[in-house]
Structure 1
Amino acid sequence: MTVRARTATTARRPIAWLSAVVIAVLLALVALPLWGLFVATLGDDADGAWSDVLTGTVARALLWEPLTASVVVGLGTGLLSTLCGAFLAWVVVMSDIPGRRTIGALAAIPFALPSFAIALAWESVFRNDRIGGETGLLFSLGVPVPDWLAWGAVPSVLTLTAHYYSLSFVVVAAALHNVGGDLVAAAELTGASRSRIASRIVIPAVTPAVLSGFLLAFAEGVSNFAVPALLGLPVRFQTLSTRLYGAISTGDTARGYVLSIILVVVAGAVLYFGNRLTKGRSFSTITGKATRARTTRTGPWRVPLTAAAWVLVGATAILPGVILAISTVQRRTNTFDGGLTWHYWIGRSDPAVSHGMRGVLRNPEVLGAFWGTIRLGLAVALGAVVLAVLAAYVVRHMPRARVANGVIGNLSYVPFLIPGVALGAAFIAQFGTPVGPFPSLYGTFWILVLAGIAASLPFAFQTATSAMGQVSRELDDAALMTGASAPRRFGRITAPLVSRGLLNGGLLVFVTMVRDLSVVVLLVTPANPLLSMMTFQYASEGFRQQANAITLVIAAISVVATLAAQRLGSRADRKKQA
């Protein structure tokens, strides 16, 4: 055996051990919670849970009506998000409409906002008197708002669309950028009309992206908890996510776990069959010569298309924030009759206002939740990125270990198929009681961190894999020939080269965790308050100004972190081009 071969063999040993550690951690974070969730539905305490949910006397109210509502909300969200996102993507990439870059920047903002931010803004405008309490702006002005517009499926779909169309926009815009101008120009030289070019070249080329955007929006719409909870629960409009939350939070854990498994199966099946639709098809549009997407002249349609694009991004990216901001300084909810006040931001305790509750910036509970949210976001971002880097490093340096790599890759992507509420239920089932020498983690900060890391793994792993894929193996091989150990090679070569990409991914994980409610809604306790849960509780209890103010704080954190991530990405691109 040569010196190089012996060195390589020695170098692989720590990687093998690292591979075992990574697989063990992934099994503990992903596989065991799901297994514990399933086992919990079969224990003595869960006798009859499956039959009750599927065929029992309460099956209709517990499963079938919420399932139907979830599918309706998911389909509506998927279709409308795809239409809005694809339209804006075409406007930004291929049209001659003025202000395209600004429209593109605004179109990415709604996804950075919490979904309940848009739901609260909707309530501030369209809430009627069906359930009593303070009404919305329109109703207070004497405009009759029908129940179907104020509550239930329609506002849930429209609100979720305003949040998730950004997904379709990003995916479709990337696909349109790859439709080379040379292809369109060649078609024009043959005398093809615009409609024929669109139907024969552009639309087939972006079909996979459009389908992917629909599937992502559909899956998110089916599993979202915050929006149907705020706009549906007050009128008993139940989806699977709100129904399982109600079951678990009221102690009916066994049937709640069954609903969690069904929700996982529904989301996974949708994504699986959607991916099968495009598998094996070819939509190649990238040729050997790089060309920019060809601009389409809109002619007389320029003004109406421009207006439509600006109305869409204005209504989803700007208007919700303006509505929430105005509502936080109104003395009386959603009306200017009582005048304006800063009390809900900086006011001291006053028995005549909000039951003596202080302004959010003076409230120690809110400030504690703020720092708890920041701490959770940072801990999850760090944990997810470190685990993802180790997993990507193992996969990259053990190309022949197909079984180990397959296990790591599959376990890293499984959380993408698990809705947040179901994942939280799985962690309760697995870590909510003592296991051997390990105590129960329920009610602790650590169960929030572990659940957040598990939920963030798919994105973090993809980011780490992409970043490491840009580092040439020759650099690592050269260091290996000098006898450098694996930790030294990683610390001196790999880590500095991938640091920007990983920091970008960590920032986006941080944003997702700060604004997420679905993953933590079942896990948060008074001992570890979070801003997202506090917003939900305030909104449910009728403290609208406080809920809206905290939502603006969350939105500000998310937007600042998102802009920071985009800025880092732009700097990295400029350095590569230089």
Structure 2
Amino acid sequence: MRAEPALRGEAVRVSPGDRGKRLRSWLTNPVAVLGLVTTAVLVVLVVMPLIGLIGTTLGTDGLDAWQKVLSGRLAPNLFWEPLANSLVIGSATAIGSVLIGSFMAWLVVMTDAPFRKTIAVLATLPFALPSFALALAWETVFRNDLIGGRVGLLQDLGLAVPDWLAWGTVPISATLIAHYYSLTFTLVAAGLATVNGSLTEAGEMAGATRARVARSIALPIVLPSIISGAMLAFAEGVSNFAAPALLGLPVRFQTLSTRLYGAIATGETERGFVLALLLIAIAAMVLFASTRVVGGRRSYATITGKGGRRSAISLDRWRWPLTLLAGLIALATTILPGLVLLMSSFARRTNSLTGGFTLHFWIGESDPGFAQGQRGILLNPTVIEAIWTTIGLGLAVAVCATTLGLAIGYVITRLKRPKFLSNALGILSFLPFLFPGVALGAAFIALFGRPIGPLPALYGTFAILVIAGAAYTLPFASQSGRAAVGQIATDLEEAATMTGAGLGRRMVRVVIPLAARGLLAGAVLVFVKMIRDLSLVVLLVTPATPLLSVMTYRYASEGFAQFATAITVLIAVISISATLLARRLESAAQPWSEAT
């Protein structure tokens, strides 16, 4: 019998007729059509802003901006010094986040430390706080008289605060570590949860010390999670805007993100777009390196068909000292900043917790002799409008991003052919990770800052905030969608299809109800991210679209610290409440859920 060409290794030729049939079968497949529509939406949200950003820098003014930024007379001030500052802060953030987050994760997941559940909850809360909340709390305590104005609590009590502790690299790095170690904690805790207890027991039975077991068995298994956490913390530290703006700009300490904001805010848009592209390139290289390092390690399979169990490591005499250390970390990064912010919002004098307290900054009427006649935030119409605009933005972005995430997850998990379509969706949904918030805001200004055909300019509208927010949070929403849809057996949809149900009916009657819990948890996380975000919206907000995070930054920049901290408390309450709700909605049980 003559062997088939495919079996002989020969190329299989597809006739034009076969191609046409295959194309028609794809176009009549509703899942493929959904994939095409979703891909087109992602191209508009992700690819076009980047193309617009690049295109703006390729004109005459743009090429001149490239030269000035990279090699001009002002290049050290415009790029190289901010780059060095950003890299130092990113490195410090990565190292500190890994050390603290890994320690907290190890204590919670692997040991018999008491109060592990409480420590776990407290360790996840700093990431729910706005990064500028920790910066404001730091300023309230450590601000000195270098730039004039009211000093912080310590100097108010007569203690000298050195400049390096009040401004610049140290306070920015410290506040970012306190904010982002939660990210590393979550990743490392998930990695440690897969460590099979029989592996560590076998090592101990072979005579290995606990340190040797941790170094030779547990560390290699969890190393990909540690590397991922470090790289993400580095990328976030490099691109963060809020902390450098509050703790660096007053003393002219610039990073790439603050320099980018300053360029666009002063009308040097081409220069700002060049800096945005450079910032995107740095973030892309970091995340690419992380993917290569983690993806290259293939020998850590610990979940097998044999079953396994985790055995808590006995800390013996170190049980209470290490628990106390973890409690102090949680106290310093969660509870104390919250208390400082709350008390600062009642302080009669800026940054002074010893000069008396007042409710004026919350519910006070206008008084020309106090706070320059400004009313309390709960009586200020602009703040009230900002509250509703912020909540509305969070809800709108959560709905849009979750809908897109559901479509992406459904297509990726259900579409078998054409494979390139699901691959394209996976890549496009990941791309926003490469855009730091300030850079993505600049990209949307470059694309939508002017009319496009019949579409009017969207800059300054609520619509551009929703579109940019949906793009910015797309990676979170798409991961939630993939996880939620991936847990639904295809048998259920096949049964519905046999009864004549189309794609729309299957989605409404089968997929969405079964995936609702995971989708809702993802939507809450998107909502929280938008509520507390400053980097993305700081360039997009105008007086017509006030947002709480931007009002906080502007109040702090203008010296109204009490108003800034009061609004930050509002944001923190909303964010933490939503985060705790999201934790309750998570379908996967946490490894410490039964801990006491």
TM-score class, shorter: over 0.9
Conserved 8 A contact 1:177-1:292? no
Aligned: 1:27 with 2:34: no
Which stretch of structure 1 is more off in the superposition, 252-261 or 177-186?
177-186
Which stretch of structure 1 is more off in the superposition, 366-375 or 559-568?
559-568
- Tell me the equivalent position of 1:188: 204
Aligned: 1:241 with 2:257: yes
- Tell me the equivalent position of 2:281: 265
- Tell me the equivalent position of 1:394: 411
- Tell me the equivalent position of 2:245: 229
Give, in angstroms, the shift of residue 207 of structure 1. Answer: 0.6
1:170-189 superposed Cα distances (whole Å, 9 cap, x missing partner)? 11111111111111112222
Q: 1:441 to 1:538 in 2, by over 3 A?
A: same
- Tell me the equivalent position of 2:169: 153
1:377-413 superposed Cα distances (whole Å, 9 cap, x missing partner)? 0000000011111122222332221221122111111
Conserved 8 A contact 2:27-2:33? no
- Tell me the equivalent position of 2:558: 541
- Tell me the equivalent position of 1:379: 396
- Tell me the equivalent position of 1:138: 154
Aligned: 1:203 with 2:219: yes
User: In the alignment, residue 321 of structure 2 is paired with which amino acid?
Assistant: P
User: In the alignment, residue 540 of structure 1 is paired with which amino acid?
Assistant: S
Q: 1:203 to 1:396 in 2, by over 3 A?
A: closer
Conserved 8 A contact 1:76-1:157? yes
- Tell me the equivalent position of 2:78: 62
Conserved 8 A contact 1:128-1:139? yes
Query: Identity of aligned pairs, percent?
Result: 57
Give, in angstroms, the shift of residue 285 of structure 1. Answer: 2.1
Conserved 8 A contact 1:11-1:485? no
Q: 1:246 to 1:107 in 2, by over 3 A?
A: same
- Tell me the equivalent position of 1:500: 517
Distance in structure 2 (CA, Å) of the matches to 1:221 and 1:491: 41
Give, in angstroms, the shift of residue 24 of structure 1. Answer: 1.2
1:265-311 superposed Cα distances (whole Å, 9 cap, x missing partner)? 00010111122123232122223244333212222222321221111
Distance in structure 1 (CA, Å) of the matches to 2:221 and 2:338: 36
Distance in structure 2 (CA, Å) of the matches to 1:12 and 1:393: 17
Aligned positions of 1:418-497 closer than 5 A: 418-497=435-514
Distance in structure 1 (CA, Å) of the matches to 2:582 and 2:346: 31
User: In the alignment, residue 488 of structure 1 is paired with which amino acid?
Assistant: R
Distance in structure 2 (CA, Å) of the matches to 1:430 and 1:386: 23
- Tell me the equivalent position of 2:425: 408
Give, in angstroms, the shift of residue 18 of structure 1. Answer: 2.1
Distance in structure 1 (CA, Å) of the matches to 2:491 and 2:25: 17
User: In the alignment, residue 86 of structure 2 is paired with which amino acid?
Assistant: S
- Tell me the equivalent position of 1:108: 124
Task: Name the TM-score, length of structure 1 as normaliser.
Answer: 0.96
**SS in structure 2 at match of 1:335:** coil
1:460-503 superposed Cα distances (whole Å, 9 cap, x missing partner)? 00110111001111111222222221111111111111011101
Distance in structure 1 (CA, Å) of the matches to 2:476 and 2:456: 30
Q: 1:79 to 1:573 in 2, by over 3 A?
A: closer
Give, in angstroms, the shift of residue 336 of structure 1. Answer: 4.2
Distance in structure 1 (CA, Å) of the matches to 2:588 and 2:212: 39
Distance in structure 2 (CA, Å) of the matches to 1:311 and 1:289: 40
Give, in angstroms, the shift of residue 571 of structure 1. Answer: 9.5
Distance in structure 2 (CA, Å) of the matches to 1:63 and 1:252: 14
Where does structure 2 lack aligned partners over 5 or more consecutive residues? 1-20, 592-596
Give, in angstroms, the shift of residue 32 of structure 1. Answer: 0.2
Conserved 8 A contact 2:93-2:174? yes
Which stretch of structure 1 is more off in the superposition, 185-194 or 329-338?
329-338
Conserved 8 A contact 2:344-2:353? no
Conserved 8 A contact 2:54-2:277? yes
User: Which residue, out of 532, 536, 542, partners 1:515?
Assistant: 532
Distance in structure 2 (CA, Å) of the matches to 1:204 and 1:155: 33
**SS in structure 2 at match of 1:338:** coil
Which stretch of structure 1 is more off in the superposition, 96-105 or 239-248?
96-105
1:67-115 superposed Cα distances (whole Å, 9 cap, x missing partner)? 1111000000000000000000111111222111111110000000000
Where does structure 1 lack aligned partners over 5 or more consecutive residues? none
Distance in structure 2 (CA, Å) of the matches to 1:299 and 1:41: 62
**SS in structure 2 at match of 1:175:** helix
1:406-427 superposed Cα distances (whole Å, 9 cap, x missing partner)? 2211111100111000000000
Distance in structure 1 (CA, Å) of the matches to 2:246 and 2:43: 35
Distance in structure 2 (CA, Å) of the matches to 1:573 and 1:219: 27
Conserved 8 A contact 1:29-1:451? yes
Distance in structure 2 (CA, Å) of the matches to 1:9 and 1:336: 71
Which stretch of structure 1 is more off in the superposition, 484-493 or 562-571?
562-571
Give, in angstroms, the shift of residue 245 of structure 1. Answer: 0.4
Q: 1:573 to 1:127 in 2, by over 3 A?
A: closer
User: Which residue, out of 490, 507, 526, partners 2:543?
Assistant: 526
Aligned: 1:179 with 2:204: no
Aligned: 1:312 with 2:365: no
Conserved 8 A contact 1:500-1:572? no
Which stretch of structure 1 is more off in the superposition, 73-82 or 479-488?
479-488
**SS in structure 1 at match of 2:356:** strand
Conserved 8 A contact 1:93-1:293? no
User: Which residue, out of 335, 339, 343, partners 2:360?
Assistant: 343
- Tell me the equivalent position of 1:71: 87
Give, in angstroms, the shift of residue 14 of structure 1. Answer: 2.8
Give, in angstroms, the shift of residue 15 of structure 1. Answer: 2.7
Distance in structure 2 (CA, Å) of the matches to 1:12 and 1:214: 45
Distance in structure 1 (CA, Å) of the matches to 2:25 and 2:282: 45
User: In the alignment, residue 516 of structure 2 is paired with which amino acid?
Assistant: S
Task: Name the TM-score, length of structure 2 as normaliser.
Answer: 0.93
Conserved 8 A contact 1:81-1:168? yes
Give, in angstroms, the shift of residue 12 of structure 1. Answer: 4.4
Aligned: 1:296 with 2:313: yes
Give, in angstroms, the shift of residue 143 of structure 1. Answer: 0.5
Give, in angstroms, the shift of residue 47 of structure 1. Answer: 4.3
User: In the alignment, residue 275 of structure 2 is paired with which amino acid?
Assistant: L
User: In the alignment, residue 357 of structure 2 is paired with which amino acid?
Assistant: L
Which stretch of structure 1 is more off in the superposition, 482-491 or 156-165?
482-491
Which stretch of structure 1 is more off in the superposition, 184-193 or 390-399?
390-399
Aligned residue pairs total 569
Conserved 8 A contact 2:432-2:474? yes
Distance in structure 2 (CA, Å) of the matches to 1:551 and 1:20: 41
Give, in angstroms, the shift of residue 205 of structure 1. Answer: 1.0
Distance in structure 2 (CA, Å) of the matches to 1:97 and 1:64: 46
Give, in angstroms, the shift of residue 333 of structure 1. Answer: 1.7
**SS in structure 2 at match of 1:332:** coil
**SS in structure 2 at match of 1:111:** coil
Distance in structure 1 (CA, Å) of the matches to 2:491 and 2:581: 32
User: In the alignment, residue 74 of structure 2 is paired with which amino acid?
Assistant: V
**SS in structure 2 at match of 1:340:** coil
- Tell me the equivalent position of 1:568: 585
**SS in structure 1 at match of 2:376:** coil
Distance in structure 2 (CA, Å) of the matches to 1:334 and 1:28: 45
